[in-house]
């Protein structure tokens, strides 16, 4: 019997490639949700707002865009919470990084999953209003879906 698992796509589909996490979650939901008996959700929120979405799950897979400028757009990363960096403006509650939000949730008594995996897709930028993904990011979508589904099986 599978643990209670959530695939959570994060992003903003109005900011082009920033929406890649949402597009991946939608495709996983449409193609695999019944077969893998998982919950699929999407959000454009981050930080502390994620606590209510992930609380109560035993496992969470987060899919989001990332800008490192170290690798080419479309590169797929599989990260742990420990591998995520902290932001510098931690005084802004809505801007708390994921790792800090998770630790805060645990401190406040939320039922936070022990198993949180992050799939991030390198994008070039996330400030231009546009819908849809650039060709290089669109090409990465099937590969990240394949990695996630393989991880779930």
pLDDT of residue 86: 58
C-alpha–C-alpha distance, residues 137 and 135, integer Å? 6
Could you tell me where the beta strands, DSSP code E, fall in 1-153?
5-10, 39-43, 59-66, 76-79, 115-122
Residue 29 has pLDDT above 50, yes or no: yes
C-alpha–C-alpha distance, residues 86 and 144, integer Å? 24
The residue ranges of every structural domain in the chain are 5-152
pLDDT of residue 96: 77
Residue 91 has pLDDT above 60, yes or no: no
pLDDT confidence band for 1 (50 / 70 / 90): very low
pLDDT confidence band for 98 (50 / 70 / 90): confident
C-alpha–C-alpha distance, residues 116 and 78, integer Å? 11
pLDDT tens digit string along 57-72? 999 999 999 999 999 9
Q: What is the pTM of this model?
A: 0.90
Domain 5-152 part of CATH 3.40.50.1450: yes
């Amino acid at each position: 019997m599978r643990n209670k698992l959530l695939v959570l796509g994060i992003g903003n589909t109005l900011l082009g490639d920033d929406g890649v996490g949402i597009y991946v979650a939608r495709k996983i939901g449409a193609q695999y949700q019944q077969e893998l008996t998982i919950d699929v959700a999407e959000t454009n929120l981050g930080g502390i707002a994620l606590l209510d979405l992930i609380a109560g799950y035993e496992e969470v897979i987060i899919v989001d865009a990332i800008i490192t400028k170290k690798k080419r757009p479309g590169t797929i990363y599989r990260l742990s919470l420990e591998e995520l960096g902290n932001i510098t403006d931690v005084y802004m509650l809505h801007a708390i990084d994921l790792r800090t939000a998770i630790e805060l949730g645990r401190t406040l008594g939320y039922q936070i999953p022990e198993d949180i995996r992050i799939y991030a897709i390198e994008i070039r930028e996330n400030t231009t209003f546009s819908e849809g993904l650039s060709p290089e990011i669109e090409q990465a979508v099937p590969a990240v879906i394949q990695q996630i589904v393989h991880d779930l099986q």
